[in-house]
Amino acid sequence: MIPGIDFFVPAVYFAAAVMFIYGLKGMSSPVTARSGMIWAGVAMLLAVLVTFIHPKVEGNYLLMVIALVSASALAWWWAKVVAMTDMPQMIALYNGMGGGSAAAIAAVELLKLHSGQAQMVPTTLLVASFGAIIGSIAFSGSLIAYAKLQGWMRKSWRFPGQQVFNLLVFAATIGLGVWIFIDGPTPTLLLLFFSLALLAGVLLTVPIGGADMPVVISLYNALTGLAVGFKGYVLEIPALMIAGIVVGAAGTLLTQLMAKAMNRSLTNVLFAGFGKADEDATGAAASGEMRAIDATDAAIQMAYAEKVIIVPGYGLAVAQAQHKIWELTELLTSRGVKVTFAIHPVAGRMPGHMNVLLAEAGVPYDLIYDLEDINAQFPTTDVALVIGANDVVNPAARKDTSSPIYGMPILDVDRARNCIVVKRGQGTGFSGIENLLFFEDNTRMLYGDAQKVAQALISGIKSLG
């Protein structure tokens, strides 16, 4: 054994944990997010390297190196080639891998306990079992979320008595965990235990509608963090405990914020079959008709406006139009138009999706406003340009008590003097809810691919001289 190793390893783990927390703090602001990611990355590198000299690590160094190199290379390549529209799927899958890893560690430790290769005090056994459950749920649930976001699973599966059945599966999983705690693990018992835990994650996620995916992703992020924290306790690695619990706590807070942004309680999100409303009801039928506008007239409106607010949605990501929209913004600004961006907390398919999209295009952070900071400005705004957003700008949330999104905080674009909605067609959008905004007297529909429309607007403004 290396002299002083019993002090050195915990000291490096502690330093890594402090850096994790500092990095997470940096990620709370777009201005410091990049440096926060670097701090967290360096912390992870330190934690991984010091694990090679951990007193409890015996051999298998070649397998460790192969796993690290291959996984790192794959992650680096994927991060480079993934499209911004596919970022939610990537995040969901990475959440799942973290939960799956925690569950796998629990399985190995419990098998060691069965074979007599390891000893666990009752508290550690309890923590290992609970971490295995939430890690497995996060793993299988995230895989289903990935399949839904990727378009492989377009239907939300529901059946009579589903909530009761889900509760029974979860109760049976807990019961097996108690059995393991009392009588100890056996291979057969562990196989059944993990199978039910994985099934619980699937059953929890399959009924969820796509519009609720931001809540789903943040929820599974929280579960993964907690599972990793519990595994840190089982393995007696403080850095893993601290990092996992911090991520779990941050994910829980984010889930609460996402649920609030959709007018849902956390209890409703967890236990009431969330996402059901967006497919089972569409609210009252809209009256009136959609009125179209061409790019030339829209360009004139925006060029001679004093204030323009741009509201991005998932359609912007699909069209990869963020760079053209920033070019349009710069052109308007050069004409003396005040342009800002309004972001709803659940716009896109994951928390912060639109912020990441705009940052990629180089939009300055001081031009991007959250819902609570921008809503009061809409009544004094000449033009609100909505690009590919739907539910987050739907005034049915204020006006239609029969709508499934009634009570949900929205961006008040309908209160702008003029509203231009860029949309591919006249469909109801991802959630299937009719958008009353499209029928408002001050709204005009600008149909077409967002990138092509943005280019047409740019050309139209330039032609004005």
Q: Which residues are catalytic?
A: 391
Distance of alpha carbon 409 from alpha carbon 44, whole angstroms = 38
Distance of alpha carbon 55 from alpha carbon 237, whole angstroms = 12
Query: Which backbone phi and psi does 418 adopt, to 5 degrees?
Result: -140, 140
Among candidates 199, 181, 87, 191, which has minimal Cα distance to 139?
A: 199
3-state secondary structure of 308: strand
Distance of alpha carbon 115 from alpha carbon 391, whole angstroms = 54
Distance of alpha carbon 234 from alpha carbon 413, whole angstroms = 51
Q: Residue 183 corresponds to which tokens in the numbers above? A: 């009588």
Query: Which backbone phi and psi does 386 adopt, to 5 degrees?
Result: -100, 125
Helix, strand and coil content of the chain, in percent to the nearest 5, comes to 65, 5, 30
Distance of alpha carbon 227 from alpha carbon 84, whole angstroms = 28
- Contacts of residue 132, defined as CB under 8 A and 6 or more positions apart, other chains included, come to 102, 103, 106, 107, 110, 177, 193, 194, 197, 227
Distance of alpha carbon 104 from alpha carbon 382, whole angstroms = 56
According to DSSP, the β-strands at 368-370 and 338-343 are parallel
Q: Check: CB of residue 219 under 8 Å from CB of residue 98.
A: no
Q: Check: CB of residue 440 under 8 Å from CB of residue 433.
A: no
Q: Say how many residues make up the chain.
A: 465
